[in-house]
Amino acid sequence: MTIFLIFLCIFTASIQSVLRKQYNQRAGEDTAGSMFNAAQSLTALCFFVVSALAGGMHFPADPALYAYSIGFAAAYGTAVLFSFLALAVGPFGLTSLISSYSLVLPTLYGLIFLGESLHAVTLAGLGCLFVSLWLMRADKSEGERKINLRWIVYVLLSFAGNGFCSIIQKAQQNAFDGAYKNEFMIAALALVTAGLFIAALVSDRSKFSSFLRQGAIYALLCGAANGATNLLVMVITATVAASIFFPVISAGQIITAFAFSLLLYKEKLSKRQHAGAALGIAALVLLNQ
């Protein structure tokens, strides 16, 4: 059952980038980033509310739960907004690959703060991962003309936001012995949704009708996939070590990003970048030993 949940998590995590990219391509100059992400967050919030109602919902008086929710809200808002912007101005393949590497952050968290085993093989895996990131750096060849400083800033912020989302989820589950998954996420997503809707009223108000025609379905599907991913992460990490689970998810996302970039967007990586991706997968396998 755990293997099935891991494969499902890889799919729901990977399909979000495709949905964001599809909307960006369809909307063009009418892209409404804040509105898209507000609708996505609202859908994910509804996902957790339904899940909580089905299993019973209880919000404890412990302020620590809400401190985790605030931290997650900040990380989640950063991740979804800057992932959207990075996909809007840069290539799908590299954006998705670098985003998938963000799960090395919770891996390091598990090793450093949770006392999970650190072996020579693990160190070798981390070394390979950093070399892989260097090899994956952009060049100015045919497929990478859209690379610029703005894309680099966006993708690094998305990288950090994604990584800290998983760290905070793991920390919350450890602190509460696996309890209050839904309550934690409902509080966090309510904060993010409110913030993004306020931002949308300021920046995207004139694009509302265009968003309803061109982007609403993508935002709803992306939110459902995001809610499923976050729930799966919390369920799986309650029983699987972070230093094992997150590398496996990263490797799966790298493979699916390759498939989507080649089949859907006809993007081609250089030989150096292919070598970097292959080394990244090898690194994540080593981290899983």
Question: pLDDT per residue over 100-115, tens digit each?
Answer: 778 778 878 887 887 7
Q: Which of 55, 2, 59 is nearest to 237 (CA)?
A: 2
| 17-28 average pLDDT score | 87
User: Residues 231, 181: contact at Cβ < 8 Å?
Assistant: yes
- Cα 85 to Cα 90: distance, rounded to the nearest angstrom: 8
CA distances from 211 to 44, 152, 215 (A): 18, 26, 5
Lowest mean pLDDT, pick from 117-121, 161-165, 209-213: 117-121
Task: Share the mean pLDDT of the chain.
Answer: 83
* Residue 269 tokens, joined: 């990586």
Quickly state the pLDDT bin for 142 (edges 50, 70, 90). very low
CB-count burial class (<10 Å; 0-12, 13-18, 19+) for 248: buried
